[in-house]
Chain A
Amino acid sequence: MEISFWNKQAETMDRLALEKIQLQRLKETISYALKTHFYKNRLEKIGLKSPEDIKNLSDLKKIPYTTKDDLRENYPKGLLAVAPEEVVRIHTSSGTTGIPTVIYYSREDLNNWTENLARGIVATGAGKKDVFQNMMSYGMFTGGLGLHYGAEKVGMTVIPIGGGNTKRQIQLMKDFRTTVLHITPSYLLHIHSRLEECAARVEDLALKKAFIGAEPHSENTRKKIEGLFNIDAYNSYGLSEMNGPGVAFECVYKNGMHIWEDGYITEIIDPKTGIVLGEGEEGEVVFTNLIRKATPLLRYRTRDLAFIYKDTCPCGRTHRRLSRITGRSDDMLIVNGVNVFPSQIEEVVMRIPQVGTNYQICLEKDGALDRLIVKVEIYSKLFSGDIKELDNLKSRIKEDLRASIIINPHIELHEPGSLPVFEGKAKRVVDNRIKL
Chain B
Amino acid sequence: MAKEVNIFIENRPGRLRSVAAILAENDINVRTMTLQDRGEFGLMKLIVDKPEKADLALKDKGFASALKDILAIILEDKPGSFNRLMTTFENSKVNILDAYGFVIESSKKAVFCVEVKEPDNIKHILQKEGFDVLEEELYEF
Which A residues are closer than 8 A to B by beta carbons?
Answer: 378-380, 383-388, 390-391, 412-418
Is A413 a contact partner of B63 (Cβ separation < 8 A)?
A: no
Q: Does B125 contact A (CB under 8 A)?
A: no
Known A-B contacts A390-B41, A390-B43, A412-B40; A383 and B62 likewise in contact (beta carbons under 8 Å): no
Q: CB-nearest residue of chain A relative to B41?
A: A413
Within 8 A of A (CB), among B98-117: 98
Is A384 a contact partner of B10 (Cβ separation < 8 A)?
A: no
Contacts of A384 in B (CB 8 A): 66, 68
Is A383 a contact partner of B9 (Cβ separation < 8 A)?
A: no
Q: Does B93 contact A (CB under 8 A)?
A: no
Is A383 a contact partner of B10 (Cβ separation < 8 A)?
A: no
From B6, B9, B15, B40, residue with most partner A Cβ within 10 Å: B40
Known A-B contacts A390-B43, A391-B38; A380 and B10 likewise in contact (beta carbons under 8 Å): no
Is A385 a contact partner of B67 (Cβ separation < 8 A)?
A: yes
Is A415 a contact partner of B38 (Cβ separation < 8 A)?
A: no
Contacts of A387 in B (CB 8 A): 36, 38, 43, 98
Q: Does B86 contact A (CB under 8 A)?
A: no
Contacts of B67 in A (CB 8 A): 385
Is A383 a contact partner of B66 (Cβ separation < 8 A)?
A: yes
Least Cβ distance of B48 to chain A in Å?
14
Report the bound CA distance from A390 to B38 in whole Å. 9
Render B1-41 as a binary contact track against A, CB cut-off 8 A, 1 for contact.
Answer: 00010101110000100000000000000000000101011
Q: CB-nearest residue of chain A relative to B97?
A: A388
Q: Does B64 contact A (CB under 8 A)?
A: yes
Known A-B contacts A385-B68, A390-B8; A415 and B40 likewise in contact (beta carbons under 8 Å): no
Is B40 a contact partner of A378 (Cβ separation < 8 A)?
A: no
Least Cβ distance of A124 to chain B in Å?
45
Q: Can you list 11 A-B pairs with a CB-CB distance of less than 8 A?
A: A379-B64, A380-B64, A380-B65, A383-B66, A385-B43, A385-B66, A387-B98, A391-B38, A412-B40, A415-B63, A415-B64
From A387, A413, A414, residue with most partner B Cβ within 10 Å: A387
Q: Does B124 contact A (CB under 8 A)?
A: no
Report the bound CA distance from A329 to B66 in whole Å. 45
Report the bound CA distance from A386 to B68 in whole Å. 9
Least Cβ distance of B66 to chain A in Å?
3
Least Cβ distance of B97 to chain A in Å?
8
Known A-B contacts A378-B64, A380-B64; A415 and B10 likewise in contact (beta carbons under 8 Å): yes
Is A415 a contact partner of B66 (Cβ separation < 8 A)?
A: no
Contacts of B84 in A (CB 8 A): none
Is A380 a contact partner of B59 (Cβ separation < 8 A)?
A: yes
Is A416 a contact partner of B10 (Cβ separation < 8 A)?
A: no
Known A-B contacts A378-B8, A385-B67, A390-B8; A413 and B40 likewise in contact (beta carbons under 8 Å): yes
Contacts of A412 in B (CB 8 A): 40-41
Contact partner of B6 (CB less than 8 A), chosen from A379, A385, A391, A418, is A385
Contact partner of A414 (CB less than 8 A), chosen from B4, B41, B98, is B41
Report the bound CA distance from A415 to B6 in whole Å. 13
Report the bound CA distance from A416 to B62 in whole Å. 7
Known A-B contacts A380-B63, A383-B65; A415 and B36 likewise in contact (beta carbons under 8 Å): no
Report the bound CA distance from A360 to B47 in whole Å. 34
Least Cβ distance of B83 to chain A in Å?
27
Q: CB-nearest residue of chain B relative to A388?
A: B97
Is A415 a contact partner of B9 (Cβ separation < 8 A)?
A: yes
Report the bound CA distance from A383 to B6 in whole Å. 9
Report the bound CA distance from A388 to B15 in whole Å. 22
Contacts of B40 in A (CB 8 A): 412-414
Contacts of A413 in B (CB 8 A): 8, 38, 40-41
Contacts of B9 in A (CB 8 A): 415
Least Cβ distance of A233 to chain B in Å?
37
Query: What 17 new A-B contacts, CB under 8 Å, besides A380-B65, A388-B97, A391-B38?
Result: A378-B8, A379-B64, A380-B63, A383-B64, A383-B65, A383-B66, A385-B6, A385-B65, A387-B38, A387-B43, A390-B38, A412-B40, A413-B40, A414-B40, A415-B8, A415-B9, A418-B10
